[in-house]
Structure 1
């Protein structure tokens, strides 16, 4: 079964009736996700994650200083993205004529419980980049088909309006009728062309087989890169491993993952001694159980997303709002002329009542000193706000980017590497984040008041 899954496109051609058709778009989006995942696990990207991303000031101050925690988080999110792709491939596979593909959920489950030697799945072998390149070409042509069909739908709507006008003897103009007919004819040919060269005309077995192999390769790579944090990896785990905890244990205490005694012994991310107790809060992510694989996963990263406790910005449901506030603050500082009083008031109303009270209390204290310090007060606050935004802005931008990639652009065919939740405000300590935002808003108010005067 496994061997058949690894190279199903070498089988004999299947009947044309078994082509993807409208399922091409579902398959194309899954291919995009797999391509993105594949590239996110390259040596370059993993080095960047370990040496740059998890060491940025916003991440270390607001989310965690502990590499083990952050790398666990990255492993969990990438694994869940792969599970979502595997769920789609499994669903498509049930329509395949190849028995090994129609039961891909069982093959994937065997990988996840450690029954298959992952060393046989080479991420960096010569053949894998060729498979990825083939997928990228399919995605490109399917993206073009999607766009052409959208244009065609708009023209067909115009055609219906034209027929209505003609039936009611409206004077639409002969030239316009001819031009519309030419456009419709051109786009119909375009749609037919892209159907021929895209996933639309590919066999279901061939397409599912390609994606099935890439899923297995990506899973093996995940175990290679994050093996210490994924259970049942049967080829890359060190003899020492992290304590095994359920996902729900992840955010017990975002700012204190280790017991003091353990933290003194651990200076780098990576395997934790087996003698460590689960109470330390060191996490190793669990694969889903075999039965759990069949549960719907269309909600994407919701399981990892939901784990943020109320003590975090995301757990309090404020990540998107606070990101917007930080970005608005940048605009107030860099281009104050573009921000009117109504916009300032609207931004202020976005803040929770507790934050508004803190801003008001701090400002009242500042106004009492205003007459003594004068312009120097504004200049000092400008420097302070600049310094705060220097590390707040990247996290806010990544929060917006993450949401755009996962929530608002699902219909698009994107293959670029996506941002991780650990880069966003979702996992940020709520108290620290609100304190920083209060300081920024107080500083902007001081600058605004002094400059207006």
Structure 2
């Protein structure tokens, strides 16, 4: 009887074991998926691998700069140096403004070329490794011994190639994030599972398939993006584009060594900056000096962003001045630098009595909107420029040739006294409109 029981028990155990078997092997396979070592982790000869994302950002910046030098963008530049805000508070001297733009473009390229130099030290090809020396030589003498400057047609072709690489590198970035999430989910499902219902098994199976599928996508993207590019291939693209962009800047401004007889500047600028750089100073040193804010400017006083924010707040308040309470007004006055606060206080010292003159209120509104028309764009560009400068991930649209706002179109080079006078007018006007609105609403309340 006992042996019968034992036999029955053994049979039952075997029976159970057979039932468990497909589940167990399935779970083992799911566990294996999680702990699968990354097969492609072997260091590929000389590929960028994880540096792909850094190189992609660099490529985007270079393409933005290149596209900002298209004929249509240069014509737009010509038009924008005539903008009233720039003329009123930055400078009304064409050649000075053009020199600023030229300095800013070459300085952007200097920063990009420093990054390319850093990458070039990892190349196997000796001519690519010599990029820092070759570029310095090209800037100072125009000598292009490697023939790296591309024709417009070739540059267009290379740009499209770089666009594709940037785009697939960006896809890889998001796919890697998704893969990490999927792997975490699969781990969680396996660790939190004590009993396995059919539903649970299905959920785990789906999660496992998702991980396997995403790994395949990631592997594919690694091959077609900058991740799978060698240092040599990436640096060659960057170096040639860098040389081409520099030649294009010189061509557009008719400046420096490589200025052809009839440069683009003749078509775009009536008064090109001409050979701006003396033989003794290097171009990049000259650019850096040009971009340092002169003494009388908001940039030198480190007040550009502060005034820009004040102007933007006034702009918002003017949309519905009647709805701005005491707290909002105090906040605005709190934002003011001391100089302007003093000016506003002096202007309002003699102001007494009710603000009941409707015509005067209309005049102030008009005065404020005419100041805003030229000061507003400078303020907005200042804030955007500031944000971009201090945001490490500059995810700009390189496709549109969007270099973002340029420094000369912000309040950085603006004359401090002129901006302070304009901001004082805004605040005195706003004060009258506030008092007028207050008066109006209290009169209406009395009528009721």
Return the TM-score normalized by structure 2.
Answer: 0.76
Q: Distance in 1 between matches of 2:312 and 2:273?
A: 38
RMSD: 3.4
Q: Distance in 2 between matches of 1:17 and 1:49?
A: 45
Equivalent position SS for 1:150: helix
Distance 1:361 1:218, change over 3 A: same
Q: Does 1:95 align with 2:122?
A: yes
- Of the three residues 197, 203, 226, the one matched with 1:199 is 226
Q: Distance in 2 between matches of 1:178 and 1:48?
A: 57
Return the TM-score normalized by structure 1.
Answer: 0.75
The answer as to whether partners of 2:62 and 2:112 remain within 8 angstroms in 1 is yes
Q: Does 1:426 align with 2:408?
A: no
- Of the three residues 294, 297, 300, the one matched with 1:312 is 297
Q: Distance in 1 between matches of 2:208 and 2:431?
A: 60
Bigger shift: 142-151 or 402-411? 402-411
Q: Distance in 2 between matches of 1:286 and 1:342?
A: 53
2:433 maps to what in 1?
447
Distance 1:191 1:323, change over 3 A: farther
Q: Distance in 2 between matches of 1:340 and 1:159?
A: 54
Task: Map Cα deviations across residues 49-86 of structure 1 (whole Å, 9 max, x no partner).
Answer: 11x11000001111000111111111111111111111
Equivalent position SS for 1:334: coil
Q: Does 1:39 align with 2:39?
A: no
1:235: Cα distance to partner? 4.0
Q: Distance in 1 between matches of 2:275 and 2:349?
A: 52
Structure 2 residue runs of 5 or longer lacking an equivalent are: 1-42, 263-268, 440-448
The count of residues paired between Structure 1 and Structure 2 equals 383
1:124: Cα distance to partner? 5.4
Larger-Rg structure: 2
Task: Map Cα deviations across residues 300-355 of structure 1 (whole Å, 9 max, x no partner).
Answer: x9x46961134211111111121111111111011447755433322321111121
Q: Distance in 2 between matches of 1:160 and 1:338?
A: 54
Q: Does 1:436 align with 2:419?
A: no
1:236: Cα distance to partner? 3.9
Q: Distance in 2 between matches of 1:429 and 1:164?
A: 65
Distance 1:212 1:341, change over 3 A: same
The answer as to whether partners of 2:48 and 2:230 remain within 8 angstroms in 1 is yes
The answer as to whether partners of 1:143 and 1:413 remain within 8 angstroms in 2 is no
1:130 maps to what in 2?
157
Task: Map Cα deviations across residues 253-296 of structure 1 (whole Å, 9 max, x no partner).
Answer: xxxxxxxxxxxxxx95325699xxx9xxx9x984247xx9xxxx
- Of the three residues 102, 121, 125, the one matched with 1:75 is 102
Q: Does 1:18 align with 2:18?
A: no
The answer as to whether partners of 1:370 and 1:377 remain within 8 angstroms in 2 is no
Q: Distance in 1 between matches of 2:340 and 2:301?
A: 13
- Of the three residues 376, 379, 383, the one matched with 2:359 is 376
2:317 maps to what in 1?
332
1:369: Cα distance to partner? 6.7
1:125: Cα distance to partner? 2.9
1:396 maps to what in 2?
379
1:23: Cα distance to partner? 1.3
